[in-house]
Amino acid sequence: MRQGLRVAAWAAAAALALLAGGAQAAGSDEPVDCNPNGNQQQMNDCALRDFRAADAELNIRYGEVMKTLSPQMRVALRTEQRTWLKGRDPGCKRAAKANEGGSIWPLVFNACLEKSTRKRTAELDLWKGRQP
């Protein structure tokens, strides 16, 4: 009887540890361990980090540019931005298709997202102060 309780206690402790670790990993939006010269997971984490930085920069620039535009031009930029966003992810999925199912796919996909986002950020400068 005592042996059975001990086994049950260990099983419960192991289950709790697994659940806690899974919850921490699932709830984390930050890359775990970025190392551009490391293993594939570490390089994937770097690509995700770099894309997130580019996306944050894009959002800041978009807000700055919108402040310089007339209401009519804001509508035009918003429409263009939404169109661009709808195409970015599918375009990068196509670009990474050859790596689908492989461990390098997140790196290729996120690197494409970063490149596309940085290009779009530069394009936003062309909108500054535009008048109809």
**Structural domain tally of the chain?**
2
- Domain that includes residue 22, residue range: 1-30
Q: Clarify whether residues 58 and 106 are in a common domain.
A: yes
Q: Clarify whether residues 45 and 94 are in a common domain.
A: yes
Q: Clarify whether residues 5 and 64 are in a common domain.
A: no
pTM: 0.75
Helix axes 105-124, 40-67, angle to 10 degrees: 20
Cα 100 to chain centroid, rounded: 17
Q: Look at residue 92 and tell me if it is in a domain.
A: yes
13, 70, 78 from 114: Cα distances, Å: 42, 29, 20
> What is the tens place of the pLDDT at every residue in 108-131?
999 999 999 999 999 999 998 787
> What is the tens place of the pLDDT at every residue in 83-104?
999 999 999 999 999 999 999 9
Q: Clarify whether residues 8 and 67 are in a common domain.
A: no
